Amino acid sequence: DSGVTQTPKHLITATGQRVTLRCSPRSGDLSVYWYQQSLDQGLQFLIHYYNGEERAKGNILERFSAQQFPDLHSELNLSSLELGDSALYFCASRRGPLTGELFFGEGSRLTVL
Amino acid sequence: DQQVKQNSPSLSVQEGRISILNCDYTNSMFDYFLWYKKYPAEGPTFLISISSIKDKNEDGRFTVFLNKSAKHLSLHIVPSQPGDSAVYFCAASAHFSGAGSYQLTFGKGTKLSVIP
């Protein structure tokens, strides 16, 4: 158990819909990262938040947005969903902004039909 | 542009033998490298890391080797055990990348099967 909690574990929805994925980092961790893993792909970096502030954006679509709340949990919002958005979405946390390994949650599997 | 490449999608090894997983990178700014292991239905878990100031790091049965001139690193598992069967991801970062983000760039993974 990494201490990172993601909900929901599985989500099935239709094209055009909007979903929210939730992440609770390890206790005391201020950094939250979101990654997407599509079929046969590695983990693609989406976005990084540190203590409520956005620190970096990766290959995140404009239809996707995220935020980190004062209690440090984070949400990833995916809107106008397309079939190609079907993927595993991982959240990871770390204590600081720079050093150490990332601790990953179990992921949220999104299926868009 | 794939900056971290794991060219072998899968690898099968006999129990007790050595497993060697390879990883190549193209970004010369990368200075910190990690290996993660992932079981089905679980998130990736950290295995071992190496800084660019070293060429080897060992932790029990796991050793990571870094060849900076070749932009190549490898993970050695000796002896391999059936419980090591998993997908192994290589990851890299530019430790002081802009905006203090330190995101990890991952390869696509290598599925290791250790045969009893």
Chain position carrying tokens 């899968």: B10
Q: How far does the CA of residue A89 sit from the closest CA of chain B (Å)?
A: 10
Residues of B in contact with A106 (CB under 8 A): 41-43
pLDDT for position A100: 72
Residues of A in contact with B102 (CB under 8 A): 48, 97-99
Report in angstroms the alpha-carbon separations of A107 from A11, A44, A86, B24: 11, 13, 13, 26
Give percent of chain B above pLDDT 90. 77
pLDDT for position A53: 94
Residues of B in contact with A35 (CB under 8 A): 106
Q: Is A90 in contact with B43 (Cβ distance < 8 A)?
A: yes
Q: Is B104 in contact with A103 (Cβ distance < 8 A)?
A: no
Which candidate from A2, A98, A107 shows the least CB-CB separation from B45? A2
pLDDT for position A97: 63
pLDDT for position B99: 52
Q: B42-85, pLDDT tens digit by residue?
A: 999 999 999 889 999 999 999 999 999 999 999 999 999 999 99
Chain position carrying tokens 């290996």: B35
pLDDT for position A32: 94
More confident residue, A16 or B100: A16
Mean pLDDT lowest among A11-20, A74-83, A89-98, B94-103: B94-103
Kindly indicate the confidence band of residue B104, based on its pLDDT and cuts at 50, 70 and 90: confident
Residue B1 at interface with chain A, using a CB cutoff of 8 Å: no
3-class secondary structure per residue, chain A: CCCCEEECCEEEECCCCCEEEEEECCCCCCEEEEEEECCCCCEEEEEEEECCEEEEECCCCCCEEEEECCCCCEEEEECCCCHHHCEEEEEEEECCCCCCCCEECCCEEEEEC
Residue B47 at interface with chain A, using a CB cutoff of 8 Å: no
Q: Residue B81's closest CA among B114, B42, B37?
A: B114
Which candidate from A2, A48, A101 shows the least CB-CB separation from B49? A101
Mean pLDDT lowest among A92-96, B78-82, B94-98: B94-98
A10 pLDDT higher than 60: yes
Residues of B in contact with A102 (CB under 8 A): 46, 104
Rounded to an integer, the average pLDDT of A58-70 is: 94
Contact of B37 with B104, CB cutoff 8 Å: no
Kindly indicate the confidence band of residue A101, based on its pLDDT and cuts at 50, 70 and 90: confident
**Residue B5 neighbours by CB under 8 Å, 6+ apart:** B23, B24, B25, B26, B107, B108
pLDDT for position B97: 56
In the predicted model, what is the mean pLDDT of chain A?
Answer: 93
pLDDT for position A49: 93
The tokens describing A47, both together, are 């976005």
Report in angstroms the alpha-carbon separations of A82 from A59, A75, A88, A111, B39: 16, 19, 14, 10, 28
DSSP code string of B21-33? EEEEE--TT--EE
Sheet holding B4-5, edge to edge: B4-5, B19-25, B72-77, B62-67, B56-59
Rounded to an integer, the average pLDDT of B24-28 is: 94
